């Protein structure tokens, strides 16, 4: 089943509650929360207090993507704030396995995000303990970037790794995804679609979400 995780980074923050209600009504599965620290990526967004307030406002799954240096420092805070899934970058933490153990100990689903250039081989010894792998299809830090086509090859290779081990792991992709390329993205094995501008800049965001969920 295809899941759609609109990124609220593209929402109008002056009408944030309305945006969350719209996403619920439109059938979104997750709320994708891009947390940036201005160090790991060249942008700053929001922290655990925003997640806490979102948790009060919506029952949708909060998919928290920590684009921060040393994410292990913040796992507990985001878990307590109400995150359902906590995803950390392999490139940002020295002891990836320890960080993933922290997420699981907090009772949350855990995931690993990989930048476009990062090889899948870094997942070799942690894959069996993951709920989700997030493949970046743009270089992280800003919304509105163009999709990197080689991300499709990476998704197909990851899907083969997962299937070869008989695992049940979601493959999420983030960056430049919309109705124009959703068919090839889902055909490559991706089943969780992050979309920001494609949803929030559309005249009819609900129709975009419906098209993404259909995978075509």
Active site positions, annotated:
34, 174
Among 98, 106, 58, 54, residue whose Cα is nearest residue 80: 106
Query: How much helix, strand and coil, in percent to the nearest 5, is found in the chain?
Result: 40, 20, 35
CA distances from 157 to 19, 30, 115, 151, 154 (A): 35, 25, 15, 10, 5
Residues 6+ apart with CB under 8 A from 160: none
Supply 71's token pair.
Answer: 């994410």
d(CA 7, CA 20): 11
d(CA 37, CA 47): 9
Give the tokens for residue 34: 């891009």
Neighbours of 39 (CB within 10 A): 12
Between CA 7 and CA 146, with CA 21 as vertex, the angle to 5 degrees is 20
């Amino acid at each position: 089943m295809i899941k759609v995780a609109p990124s609220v980074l593209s929402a109008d923050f002056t009408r944030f509650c309305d945006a969350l209600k719209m996403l619920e009504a439109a059938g979104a599965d997750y709320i994708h929360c891009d947390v940036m620290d201005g160090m790991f990526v060249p942008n700053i967004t929001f922290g655990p207090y925003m997640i806490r307030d979102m948790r009060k406002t919506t029952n949708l799954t909060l998919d928290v993507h920590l684009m921060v240096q040393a994410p292990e420092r913040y796992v507990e805070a985001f878990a307590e704030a109400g995150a359902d899934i906590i995803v950390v970058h392999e490139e940002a933490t020295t002891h990836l396995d320890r960080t993933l153990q922290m997420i699981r100990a907090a009772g949350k689903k855990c995931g690993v995000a990989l930048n476009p250039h990062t090889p899948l081989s870094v997942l070799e010894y942690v894959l069996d303990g993951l709920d989700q792998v997030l493949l970046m299809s743009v270089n992280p830090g800003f919304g509105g970037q163009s999709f990197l086509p080689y991300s499709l090859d990476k998704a197909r290779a990851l899907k083969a790794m997962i299937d070869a081990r008989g695992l049940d792991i979601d493959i999420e992709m983030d960056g430049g995804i919309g109705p124009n390329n959703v068919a090839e993205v889902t055909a490559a094995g991706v089943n969780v679609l992050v979309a920001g501008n494609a949803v929030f800049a559309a005249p009819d965001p609900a129709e975009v979400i419906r098209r993404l969920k259909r995978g075509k």
